[in-house]
A and B are shown apart, each in its own frame.
Chain A
Amino acid sequence: MCSMAQEKQESTTRLFVGGGWANVLDTYLSPYSYKGTVFNFIVERQYEHTMHRTSLHMSLSENPAGNVNEYEFGVAYGVAHHFQLMKKGAFNLKAGPMGHLYVGGIYNERNGNNPGQAKLSLMLDASALATYDFRLWRKDFQLEYSIDVPFIGLAYSPQFGQSYYEEFVLGNYDHNCVIAHPFNTPSLRQRFVVDFKLKKRGCLYWGYNGELFQTKYNGLRHHSYLHSIILGIKL
């Protein structure tokens, strides 16, 4: 088995790349969902109880009429502390808090005074990680499922009809720092991967990464549904 650090201070670093489907709505830019493609890049360092994750995604999507493109990007850094909740045979469950910083933006290529939407949030998430080891065809495999659910934090949002000119040229702020909680930020990130040994030390990971990120701040609605097939290696 090679996906998880087994001893104290020992760490495992994994790199994932992926691609899939994006569905992006931001009512500051358009009342309609844009659909397209997303690319992911995730680096994760796992200690026995601590996990550091840096992820980047870029999506290109188009409106329902197919005549306007929207570009979304986001960089996230999270650090989680997982407590051992259960270890029963081949099944292992850990959970704990996760600090999560997200910086990103969406650009609509047609809009004039509202061409983009900046995204910034600092959240405390509930994070869990479950693994299950098994043998198949005389080889060791591991199933891994992880989920992070934003719990509480602070996020940036323009006001319903506020322009960036007012905010950043005139300095007129209006509830632009929002308290985020599960009722206005019902979101989750989840990942399901299977890992299997390649050689003595090499490991290959294959699975699904889903980011269902949603907000309702200042009367503006946003969602990014990003579903990706990911492939990873142990570094």
Chain B
Amino acid sequence: MRQLFRHILYIIGLTLVLAACVGEELPTADTPQGNLDALWQLLDERYCFFDYKKAELGVDWNEVHERYRKKVSPKMTSLQLFEVCCAMIAELKDGHVNLGASFNLGRNWSYWEDEPENYYDSIARSYLGHEYGIASSLKYTVFDDNIGYIRCESFENGPGNGNVSSVLSILAPCNGLIIDLRNNGGGSLTNAECLASHFTNEKVLVGYVYHKTGKGHNDFSTMKPEYLEPAKGTRWQKEVVVITNRQCFSAANDFVKMMHCLPHVTLLGDRTGGGSGMPFMQELPCGWSVRYSAVVTVDHDKKHIEFGIDPDVKVSMNMEDVMRKKDTLIEQARTILRQKANETP
């Protein structure tokens, strides 16, 4: 009997010992040093573009750690620590890497802040006029040269399949279509894919996706192909021009990636802002949120699009046009579509 009890106690004791072995791995101290180390380690283990950023920007993440550790002192304030941490993550030049505190959002938006905007809201709105249609996140109208125009400012809330089908049915008599994607900062990939799926009649390879499988900088899964399937609703069969600028980011960048693979689509404007890493969130001991790129998407040639996609036709805003309240990019897109419509037998 005693022996049996002893065995039972051994089993319980062993299990309790095992039960103490799945714990936290990151620094837990809520101190300036602890938070900076936790931020560095979290990104070191989970960020997905280190090799690419090293090749393109020369970022040595270990050197970054050493440099920024020296800027942290035990008595610094939260605001000072936030500034140092933001400067550290800004080294990655990734719009998907953010530090979130109750008083500020740490970010690096140099991908568009240091670049020409190529968009004037009041001018673009004048092209829509007052009688434009609204279908979820899409605003649309028909120009007097019978060119359809869709303004898509975001993929946060829609559009859905029904919205796109309805809009394309209404614009079907048009000779060509402009999708103005400028300043679209992204949203849901599903919404971006939904819109793009109305511009193909067949399944098309549009890129590849892969993710991290471990803490090493090169621990990645195999690349899995990503296909664009034709939508079940109305599908556009004529020429399309997609207007882009540097603020087309994340899901908007992904939309451009997909549209770039389609035969009747012309990309016009400026290079997109990039942001091809799907972001995840984690946190620091002090409660600040950390957003970082975790899943990599590349184009159909397996090339990175983290820093954007070049247009087929590079066009910038002309200041003379701006003075005349004309949008150079929209005007150029209309010209291309009119020419292509005339070339069509």
Say whether chain A's binding surface is mostly helix, strand, loop, or mixed.
loop
Q: Distance (Å) between the CB of B232 and the closest chain A CB?
A: 16
Q: Mark A62-102, 1 if CB is under 8 A from B, else 0.
A: 01111110000000000000000010100101000000000
Contact B209 A166 (CB under 8 A): yes
A188 is an interface residue with CB less than 8 A from chain B:
yes
Select which of A111, A130, A219 is within 8 A of B280 by beta carbon: A111
Contact A33 B24 (CB under 8 A): yes
Contact B287 A169 (CB under 8 A): no
B204 is an interface residue with CB less than 8 A from chain A:
no
| A186 and B213 in contact, given A31-B24, A31-B25, A163-B294 (Cβ under 8 angstroms) | no
| A186 and B46 in contact, given A31-B38, A88-B1, A163-B280 (Cβ under 8 angstroms) | no
Complex Cα distance, B282 from A234, in Å, reads 45
Select which of B12, B28, B189 is within 8 A of A32 by beta carbon: B28
B136 is an interface residue with CB less than 8 A from chain A:
no
Residues of B within 8 A of A170 (CB): 209, 224, 226
Q: How large is the interface on A (under 10, 10 to 19, 20 to 34, 35 or more residues)?
A: 35 or more
Complex Cα distance, B38 from A235, in Å, reads 51
Residues of A within 8 A of B16 (CB): 188, 212
Residue of B nearest to A115 (CB): B281
Residue of B nearest to A190 (CB): B12
Number of interface residues of B (CB under 8 A): 47
Complex Cα distance, B38 from A68, in Å, reads 18
A233 is an interface residue with CB less than 8 A from chain B:
no
A13 is an interface residue with CB less than 8 A from chain B:
no
Select which of A32, A188, A190, A215 is within 8 A of B283 by beta carbon: A32
Select which of A31, A166, A190 is within 8 A of B282 by beta carbon: A31
A216 is an interface residue with CB less than 8 A from chain B:
yes
Contact B285 A219 (CB under 8 A): no
Residues of B within 8 A of A218 (CB): 213
Segment from B165-173, B214-222, B305-313 that makes contact with A: B214-222
Contact A27 B25 (CB under 8 A): yes
